[in-house]
């Protein structure tokens, strides 16, 4: 067993340790084969050389994070631990703000793959975002759409979802058609409310500058000068996906998001998303970005839940 002594200079050691040593304890959980002793400005580590090398590399990134942001939490540590060294350095060196949200909130990529979405949107007119729940597919897409509208790159935002009954019976829900469908579209409203002040959002909705509608309402339209997002695309059929993709007009940007692991279509019904990914993969101007549990930005338990369910898939 090898012993190493690491000096911690230029940062507040209390930030590194966290409240009641929660950050250090979190590191110990992720490196169970290493003994970690943290005192003052020094960390002693005991273990096999290869594992110690990995720990030192990750610790360097953590210290760089503290120097840059003057804070540290479990989510940031976990992101550093699961991300490739060079990817993480590239990510923190390009701290892009997509848009300023309500109350001055800075809305920006939270993971390297989310940053890939922002970069891809500059180069491509159609992007497929594929990955599990909680990876920010919808939120980042809506942020990019809001930015494009604010910068007058487009004249309208169109957000749509297929209204597929995920275990619920639409006919038994109360209210008129709009009231029945709104629950399916709620995540889109939620994202917009965090980025656009209430009165302005209501005005945009009334004027049709921002449109939120079920996918069936897209039929027969040509979507010019628009930033268009198709959410939950794994629940589209062949005909629905083909119909949507061919709505693309002049000066349009399309983002299609979906999680192939959460298909609510009837059995034996082919997912339009899965089919499109195979058919369109070699077309220039269309990009596909795959996100994983590493990109989950919800509660840290969500990553563990996704991993646990993988054993059933």
- 127 and 228 share a domain? yes
Q: Determine the pLDDT at residue 111.
A: 86
Tell whether 148 and 59 lie within a shared domain.
no
Q: Tell me, yes or no, whether 63 and 29 share the same domain.
A: yes
Q: SS3 of 162, please?
A: coil
Residue 70: strand, helix, or coil: coil
Q: Which pLDDT value is given to residue 94?
A: 56
* Cβ atoms of residues 133 and 259 within 8 Å: yes
Determine contact, residues 113/295, Cβ cutoff 8 Å: yes
Look at residues 90, 111, 132 and tell me which one is the last residue of a structural domain: 90
Domain harbouring 190, CATH code:
3.40.50.300
| 127, β-bridge pairs | 255, 287
Check if the beta carbon of residue 129 is closer than 8 Å to that of residue 141.
yes
| CB-count exposure of residue 54 (10 Å: 0-12, 13-18, 19+) | middle
* String of DSSP letters for 222-267: -B-SEEEEE-SGGG--HHHHHHHHTTB-TT-EEEEEE-TT---SPT
Residues 253 and 176 in one domain: yes
For residues 193-225, one letter each, b for 16 or more C-beta atoms within 10 angstroms of the residue's C-beta and e for the rest, the string is: eebbeeeebeebeeeeebbbbbbeebeeeebee
One pLDDT digit (tens) per residue for the chain, 313 residues: 799 998 887 778 888 988 888 999 999 998 999 999 998 888 999 999 999 999 998 898 888 878 776 788 887 888 888 777 766 666 655 557 788 778 767 788 888 899 899 999 999 999 999 998 889 999 999 999 999 998 889 999 999 988 764 433 444 445 555 565 666 678 888 889 988 888 888 899 999 999 988 888 898 999 999 999 999 999 999 999 999 999 999 999 999 999 988 888 888 888 999 999 999 988 999 999 999 888 887 666 776 777 777 666 5
- Shared domain for 49 and 114, answered yes or no, is no
What residues make up the domain containing 14? 2-90
First to last CA, the chain: 40
- What's the pLDDT score for residue 167? 38
Q: Please say whether the beta carbons of 109 and 98 come within 8 A.
A: yes
DSSP state letters, 181-224: HHHHHHHHHHHHHTTS-HHHHHHHHHHTSEEEEEGGGGTT--B-
pTM to 2 decimal places: 0.69
Domain count, the chain: 2
Q: Let me know whether 281 and 169 are in one domain.
A: yes
Model pLDDT, residue 34: 92
């Amino acid at each position: 067993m090898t012993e190493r002594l690491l000096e911690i200079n230029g940062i507040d050691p209390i930030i590194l340790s966290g409240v009641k040593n929660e950050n250090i304890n979190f590191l110990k959980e992720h490196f169970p084969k290493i003994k970690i002793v943290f005192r003052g400005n020094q960390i002693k580590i005991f273990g096999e050389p290869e594992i110690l090398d990995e720990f030192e590399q990750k610790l360097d990134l953590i210290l760089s994070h503290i120097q840059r942001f003057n804070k540290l939490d479990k989510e940031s540590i976990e992101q550093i631990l699961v991300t490739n060294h060079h990817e993480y350095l590239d990510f923190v060196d390009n701290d892009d703000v997509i848009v300023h949200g309500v109350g001055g909130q800075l809305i920006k990529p939270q993971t390297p793959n989310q940053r890939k979405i922002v970069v891809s949107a500059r180069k491509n007119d159609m992007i497929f975002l594929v990955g599990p729940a909680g990876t920010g597919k919808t939120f980042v897409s809506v942020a990019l759409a809001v930015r494009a509208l604010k910068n007058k790159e487009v004249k309208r935002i169109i957000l749509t979802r297929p209204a597929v009954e995920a275990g619920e019976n639409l006919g038994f829900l109360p209210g008129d058609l709009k009231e029945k469908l709104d629950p399916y579209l709620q995540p889109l409203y939620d994202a917009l409310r965090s980025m656009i002040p209430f009165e302005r959002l209501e005005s945009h909705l009334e004027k049709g500058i921002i449109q939120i509608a079920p996918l069936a309402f897209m039929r027969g339209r040509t979507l010019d000068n628009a930033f268009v997002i198709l959410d939950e695309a794994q629940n589209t059929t062949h005909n629905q996906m083909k119909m949507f993709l061919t709505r693309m007009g002049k000066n349009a940007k399309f983002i299609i998001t979906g999680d192939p692991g959460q298909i609510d279509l009837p059995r034996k019904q082919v997912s339009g998303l899965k089919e499109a990914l195979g058919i369109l993969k070699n077309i220039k101007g269309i990009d596909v970005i795959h996100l994983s549990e590493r990109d989950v930005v919800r509660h840290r338990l969500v990553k563990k839940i996704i991993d646990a369910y993988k054993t059933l898939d």
